[in-house]
């Protein structure tokens, strides 16, 4: 039997092998403001009633800002937070006033796609002026 005092240096040496430091995640290039705007407007066209007629005001207010450790399709992936505000009609035909929302975008080549809406808690904590 090998004494424990002889196994300890071997175990510690295994932990100090070259290249075993923290993994550095390479961030993909952020979507441009134009790509972000197109992605959000495409998302809203599917989400809003009577779009584009119901959408009266729209602007991106913040981002894109990197989001780390977003779980999409069962794995951690990189995405970008975009905050935006808009005014649109609700189901009663009444304009709700400007409200701030957030989405997570991913970039695929020259286009960005909304992969998730973002909870109000994240929007309240991350989007300026909320």
Q: Where are the domains of the chain?
A: 27-126
**Distance, CA of 117 to CA of 123 (rounded, Å):** 10
**CA count, 13 A, side-chain hemisphere, 77:** 14
CA nearest 54: which of 100, 89, 4, 19? Answer: 89
Q: Which pLDDT value is given to residue 115? A: 85
CA nearest 61: which of 79, 93, 36? Answer: 36
Note the Cα 91 to chain centre separation in Å: 28
Q: Which pLDDT value is given to residue 22? A: 36
CB of 86 within 8 A of CB of 57?
yes
CB of 104 within 8 A of CB of 67?
yes
CA nearest 70: which of 127, 2, 118, 123? Answer: 118
Q: Which pLDDT value is given to residue 50? A: 67
Q: Which pLDDT value is given to residue 35? A: 94
Which residue, chain included where needed, has tokens 């009609």?
Answer: 89
Q: Which pLDDT value is given to residue 25? A: 43
Per-residue pLDDT of the chain (130 residues; tens, 9 = 90+): 454 444 334 444 444 444 443 333 455 688 999 999 999 999 988 888 766 678 888 999 988 988 866 665 566 567 889 999 999 888 888 888 888 888 989 888 888 989 888 777 667 777 776 5
Q: Which pLDDT value is given to residue 21? A: 38
**Cα separation of the two ends of the chain:** 65
Q: Which pLDDT value is given to residue 59? A: 92
Residue 20: in which H helix or E strand, if any?
none
């Amino acid at each position: 039997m090998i004494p424990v005092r002889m196994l300890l240096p071997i175990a510690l040496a295994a932990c100090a092998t070259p290249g075993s430091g923290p993994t550095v995640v390479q961030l993909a290039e952020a979507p441009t403001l134009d790509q972000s705007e197109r992605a959000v407007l495409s998302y809203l066209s599917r989400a809003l009633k009577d779009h584009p007629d119901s959408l009266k005001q729209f602007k991106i207010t913040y981002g894109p800002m990197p989001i780390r450790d977003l779980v999409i399709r069962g794995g951690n992936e990189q995405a970008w937070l975009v905050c935006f505000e808009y005014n649109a009609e609700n189901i009663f035909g009444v304009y709700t006033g400007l409200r701030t929302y957030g989405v997570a975008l991913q970039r695929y080549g020259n286009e960005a796609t909304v992969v998730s809406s973002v909870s109000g808690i994240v929007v309240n904590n991350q989007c300026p002026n909320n």
